[in-house]
Amino acid sequence: MSNFPSQNKRKIRVGTNHVLAAAFVLVIAFVSSFLRLLTLSSIHDGSSSAAAENTNSAIGAPGIQQLDTSAISTKSKRPNSFHFVISSDCTSYQRWEVLVQLHSAQSIRQCGRYTWIVSGCLEEGDGAEAGKGKGGAHSDKLTPSLLLEEVGRHFPVTLSNHTVAKEAIGAKDDNDCHTIHPHLHFTPDFTNMSVYGGPFADGTRKRTFKGRNGKIQQGNYGNTYPFNNKPNGLNHWAQHFLRNDERRDESIVLIDPDFLFLNKFELDEIVLPGKPAAAKYGLGWSGIPCPFISVTNKDVNNFYSAGPPYVIHIEDVLKFSKRWSDLVPPTFDEYPLLYAEMFAYSMAAADLGLKHKLVKNIFSGCMTGWPHTHEKEELNALKLSAKTYADLIENAPLGLEATGGGASSCFLSPLSPPPFLHYCARYSFVTPFSNSDGDNSNVYHWFAKRHVDHDILDCGEHPQPLQPFLSNQHERGEGGDKDWNVLAVCAIVRAINYAKRMGCEKDAMNH
């Protein structure tokens, strides 16, 4: 903490003219507050630990049951109309992720509209990279038409540069929630942080961040920060959407490409203009001086310790995404690591007074603890679900059973998973499962998103269902819980196989 000035408690109001100066101070305060999360939870696909909710619950953050009801409208008890918005890059890697996500939504009949914001495609005609990828960061970049071609193989797709057609809104607010019609919206690339100027723009000075333990961390993004696409892509889409679409009753749900639907997403809260909601993250900021006169530590815990899914009323999206976009570059200069975009989100929300209704238990798998089951029946079902899949994988490693039913089929009744799995981490289990305490005969079965082949959904290249990856050596899992590690592997592997099957069956029908 010694690196943070302790005299932050000035009255600072971030006006549009003072973004840089104010954001500097804000960043310091916010970054300190997020440190706990960041130091405990390593980068995506790494060994992010169960850092967030559980470890910070001692701060006294309210659970959903205890939240004050002032933000809940008593007038309008109409359910939310959700409009899911996903921001991705234009690689074959995020393409399979989002397609798998859309299939998972369809498989559990999630109602709502879907918009997929794709940033930074190659120019048409410049398809040199296409088809040359591997997995993860080594995937190939695509042109809009290459992306669209593959999406169109799976779903009836519309481009958002057309006025949204009635017939394209199949999965709207009626009961027709079994066919997803994604809208694609293409935007420029926003990852070049040099365009925002500042002391690091020319690349000669490196951004660093001094952690609480005094250790200097270097960002590994240089001047290319992929997550700057999120706020800017959203803003780009919102400008376009508001001009072309008349609906003003929707709640925009922002999720990342590596989210899967395990269960229907619903909210008890009605999201209204000025009253967003989000998943509660453990971004505790106890004891840290707060630069906003209006934002106390308690307020941060209660309203701004937010992360995806973010749920924002459409009327708020334009101004919010603008503020969020403005705050990413100065945040990134101070904090050149993965979650700069998340800090910037919280700061923008605090600055605009958009108090979030923070909700627990809407996702699992990453940056949060595994769900806690207290009911004996559910606990039994958890154990049985895990054992069933582990035994299946052990005994029939090439069994087509692994394709059955999609992600939700991993959870035996009465076990009811949270709406989302966020598979940013690595998950593993060993077989034989019953005596899985690590003797050398054990086989490790694991999943990590970056190891998936970039064209995993291709029926010709990958005719067989995906199986969990195999290893004879120890593969770390996520956050200890053995049963939930099995179920995470099961859910994502089955979700991929479900998406493969749906796409390939459609292919076969069309030929």
Ligand X SMILES: *[C@@H]1O[C@H](CO)[C@@H](O)[C@H](O)[C@H]1NC(C)=O
Which stretches of the chain bind ligand X, using CB under 6 A? 144, 159, 161-162, 186, 192, 194-195
* Closer by beta carbon to ligand X, 155 or else 310: 155
* Closer by beta carbon to ligand X, 57 or else 145: 145
What is the closest distance, in whole angstroms, from the C-beta atom of residue 484 to ligand X in the complex?
41
The token pair that represents 287 in the structure block: 């004891």
- H helices of 186-339, where? 229-244, 297-299, 314-334
What is the closest distance, in whole angstroms, from the C-beta atom of residue 192 to ligand X in the complex?
4
What is the closest distance, in whole angstroms, from the C-beta atom of residue 330 to ligand X in the complex?
17
The token pair that represents 217 in the structure block: 């961390």
What is the closest distance, in whole angstroms, from the C-beta atom of residue 226 to ligand X in the complex?
13
What is the closest distance, in whole angstroms, from the C-beta atom of residue 223 to ligand X in the complex?
7
Helix axes 314-334, 19-40, angle to 10 degrees: 80
What is the closest distance, in whole angstroms, from the C-beta atom of residue 225 to ligand X in the complex?
12
The neighbour count for residue 2, using CB atoms within 10 Å, is 7
| Residue 25, SS3 per DSSP | helix
What is the closest distance, in whole angstroms, from the C-beta atom of residue 20 to ligand X in the complex?
17
Q: What CA–CA distance (Å, rounded) separates 217 from 198? A: 19
* Closer by beta carbon to ligand X, 161 or else 441: 161
Query: Would you say the C-alpha torsion 27, 31, 32, 33 has a positive or negative sign?
Result: positive
CA distances, 457 to each of 96, 179, 481 (Å): 7, 19, 30
* Closer by beta carbon to ligand X, 186 or else 427: 186
Of 1, 6, 11, 18, which Cα lies nearest the Cα of 330? 18
What is the closest distance, in whole angstroms, from the C-beta atom of residue 218 to ligand X in the complex?
20
- Cβ–Cβ under 8 Å, residues 118 and 88: yes
| Residue 88, SS3 per DSSP | strand
* Closer by beta carbon to ligand X, 26 or else 146: 146
What is the closest distance, in whole angstroms, from the C-beta atom of residue 162 to ligand X in the complex?
6
Q: What CA–CA distance (Å, rounded) separates 294 from 303? A: 12
- Cβ–Cβ under 8 Å, residues 433 and 444: no
* Closer by beta carbon to ligand X, 244 or else 395: 244
* Closer by beta carbon to ligand X, 159 or else 165: 159
* Closer by beta carbon to ligand X, 131 or else 144: 144
Of 360, 370, 235, which Cα lies nearest the Cα of 309? 360
Of 148, 160, 23, which Cα lies nearest the Cα of 98? 148
> Over the Cα atoms of the chain, what is R_g?
22
Q: What CA–CA distance (Å, rounded) separates 69 from 162? A: 40
| Residue 447, SS3 per DSSP | strand
* Closer by beta carbon to ligand X, 190 or else 304: 190
The neighbour count for residue 496, using CB atoms within 10 Å, is 29
Q: What CA–CA distance (Å, rounded) separates 108 from 41? A: 30
* Closer by beta carbon to ligand X, 231 or else 468: 231
What is the closest distance, in whole angstroms, from the C-beta atom of residue 219 to ligand X in the complex?
16
